[in-house]
Structure 1
Amino acid sequence: MPLLDHVRELRNRLVKGIGAILLVTAGAAFFYKQLIGFLIAPLPGCTPGQLAGAAPAGHCGVIALNGLLSPFTLALKVSITAGVIAASPVWLYQLWAFIAPGLHRNEKKYTLAFLGAGIPLFLSGAALAYWLLPTTARVLISFTPAHTTNMLPVDDFLNLATRFIVVFGLSFELPLLLILLNFGGVISARRMIGWWRVMIMAITVFAAIATPSTDPLTMLLLAAPLSLLYFAACAVAWAHDRRRVRRTHDGMDNTEFASLEVASSR
């Protein structure tokens, strides 16, 4: 396919994926208050209007909105996050459909397997982020100096929560991206396995950046599953490369045998 056709194909896939996100975002906007309540729930001991200095240990302090446009901005952010998560089957399929033309016919049958793995991986990462939010909030709030009030705007926490959920969900797609590159012939399993030291270091650094809390447990809870998923991707790529080599050798043998038969018939 010429380069311009690839660009057009990418544009069409992006339009469909972004369109699905916008449609779901518009639907989620009608339930943004319930979504905000769901995201605020992990805050430890959060009571609106209660000061951190007067509350027992672990309470988060004041929940407030600052500015006239803050409620609208907050509703928009939460709705977009819900759109990205809920529309993940559509944009994941568009990603696969853009890469699939470069695959062989017998490799395109993995479409359902790709979607069947990509959607649970994204949702698992998002669920892990939501589960880690209380620990992250407690650690960050613990830095509040004594005899001071921690004014915690709800939009600040929701910025952290939405970033957590989206980043964790996308990071869990790493093994799927590597498998896609392997199936497309861009990267071999041997090279993926050879990168394991660099990948473990990169995953650790990413986990340290993606989790703002300073406790090593939160970083480990992200780095460990990502490392396991990376090695699982290496195993899948290794099995695929072996099957491809075996298929290539079988094809060469059959061709040579056919040429020998034609030569002998002459």
Structure 2
Amino acid sequence: MARARARRRDARARMPLSAHLSEFRNRLILAVIGVAIGAVAGWFFYTPVFEALQEPVLAVAVRDDAMVAVNFAGIATALDIRIKVSLFLGVIVSAPWWLYQLWAFVAPGLKAGEKRYTFGFLGAAIPLFFAGVALAWWVYPRAVEILIGFTPESAANWLEAQMFVSFATRLVLVFGIAFVFPVVMVALTWARVVRARTWLKGWRWAVLLIFVAAAVLTPTPDVVTMLFMAVPMCALYFAAVGIGLWRERARAKKEARALAS
């Protein structure tokens, strides 16, 4: 039985590149369809979401009696912004669906006894994604307030709508995706694509990259905001390594017992 399982794994490993690309294309198409359906729903929630994005700007304008506002410069800008916000909402609300597609691509050919791992992956990835989104939503008004604060008192700050919305939506999505990456690490280790010891050996580079990414993705000059992103990501990274090491040891013991019998 152990040899049969090994042969099945070897068969999956010998899949031609065209088959992998075809699987990736199919999963990508399904993920895009899910985002598109979510975007249709997001179209109807555009107004409250845009008002929430604009709220920190209006709060600074009222508090400091400053000339600060979001500026729609072109005739089609309002429509373009509505489409962007709708797509942003589509990515958020369809997260469970495209996260499942990611898992299905990383870990194909699951046996009946292994299908429970799908629930484990989604049970960890979905809450972590929304935790990252929530943290970014907490950081966002602080970032807006600090960045607008650099405007001289005698000057006006008309925020170009395209850049303003891109800044807000990218910040939120990057936080969410960053928090999911450790779960992807575990999935790659589970699928025997990357060994846990490989992740462990690269921990110094990983910590460095996490702090650099946190410094870039949290556009505020205070260290506290950067740490709010970097520290949880480092903790999640080492947790993912620990889970991977545990899984590999348990698998090695199981295979040794199977060969011995």
* TM-score, structure 1 as length reference: 0.86
Aligned with residue 172 of structure 1, among 160, 169, 179: 179
CA apart distance, 1:60 = 7.1
| Structure-to-structure mapping, 1:155-234, within 5 angstroms | 155-234=162-241
Give the Cα separation in 2 of the matches to 1:134 and 1:62.
15
2: CA distance between counterparts of 1:170 and 1:59? 35
Give the Cα separation in 2 of the matches to 1:41 and 1:147: 22
Judge which range, 241-250 or 59-68, deviates more: 59-68
CA distance in 1, matches of 2:88, 2:30: 17
- Partners of 2:103 and 2:67 lie apart in 1 by 43
The worse-fitting range, judged by mean Cα deviation, of 238-247 and 188-197 is 188-197
In the aligned structure 2, how far is the partner of 1:169 from the partner of 1:26? 21
Q: How much has 1:39 moved relative to structure 2?
A: 2.1
Q: Percent identity?
A: 38
Determine the C-alpha separation between the residues in 2 that align with 1:133 and 1:60. 20
Deviations along 1:33-73, one digit per CA (max 9) or x if unpaired, are: 122112223447145xxxxxxx5438672233111111011
Q: Which amino acid aligns with 1:80?
A: L
Q: Which has the larger radius of gyration?
A: 1
**How far did 1:76 drift?**
0.8
Structure 1, unmatched stretches of 5+, are: 48-54, 255-266
What is the match of residue 81 of structure 1? 88
Shift of 1:211: 1.6
State the match for 2:9 in structure 1.
none
Contact 2:88 2:169 in 1 (8 A): yes
Whether the 8 Å CA contact 2:66–2:153 is kept in 1: the answer is no
Deviations, residues 167-202 of structure 1 (Å, cap 9, x unaligned): 111111110111111011122222222221111001
Aligned pair count?
A: 247
Instruction: For residue 172 of structure 1, give the secondary structure of its aligned residue in structure 2.
Output: helix
Q: How far apart, CA to CA, are the structure 2 residues paired with 1:104 and 1:185? A: 15
Code of the residue aligned with 1:138 in structure 2: it is E
C-alpha RMSD of matched pairs (Å): 1.9
Partner SS, residue 156 of structure 2: coil
Aligned pair in 2 of structure 1 residues 60, 217: CA closer, same or farther (>3 Å)?
A: farther
**Could you tell me which of 231, 246, 249 is aligned with 2:253?**
246
Q: Is 2:125 the partner of 1:118?
A: yes
Q: CA deviation at 1:228?
A: 0.8
In the TM superposition, residue 209 of structure 1 has moved relative to its aligned partner by 1.4
Equivalent residue of 2:159, what SS? strand
Task: Supply the AA of the counterpart residue of 2:201.
Answer: G
Q: Which structure 2 segments of 5+ residues have no match?
A: 1-14
